[in-house]
Amino acid sequence: MKKWITIICSIIGVLVIDLITKHFLFEVEYFNLIPNVISIATNHGNTGAAFGMFSDSTIVLIIVSIIMIIALFIFNYFVKTKSIFYSISFGFIVGGAIGNLIDRLFLGYVRDFIFLDFWPTFPVFNFADTFLCIGAVMMAVFILFFMGKKNDNQSKN
């Protein structure tokens, strides 16, 4: 039960941060948040996926997002060794995916507004993207280094 509370709180936390920042920052004038590091860009609607791939494929991306969210919950069902680290990573991924899915469903594009001044060729992104990436790295670390370790140690005793 504690793991589900962590997952639900992580998903809700990501959604709150993502949707509030999109609402308030998407249409503001361009400004430097941290000079020469991060700026808030103006009105970058992304009809594609990461790095502008699959532009103008909103319907396909909606379907893929829904399938991936369902697949994550199926994966979660089969993961026997769950930690707080795992639960947070799962919540970050699902919350980020839902945040961008909401934009695609209601607007037809994803609202991006964070611009890295020190890396001008890097695409504009949002907090859902950030949480998705952090969650994916955390999940990869969990799968590579922790998944099944508890069971392995118990079976040796």
Q: Please give the positions annotated as active site.
A: 112, 129
Other CB atoms within 10 Å distance of the CB of residue 42: 15
Backbone angles phi, psi at 112, to 5 degrees: -110, 145
Strands 31-34 and 38-46: antiparallel
**Non-local CB neighbours of 151 within 8 Å, separated by 6+ positions:** 80, 81
Tell me which residue of 109, 125, 93, 105 sits closest to 15, measured CA to CA: 93
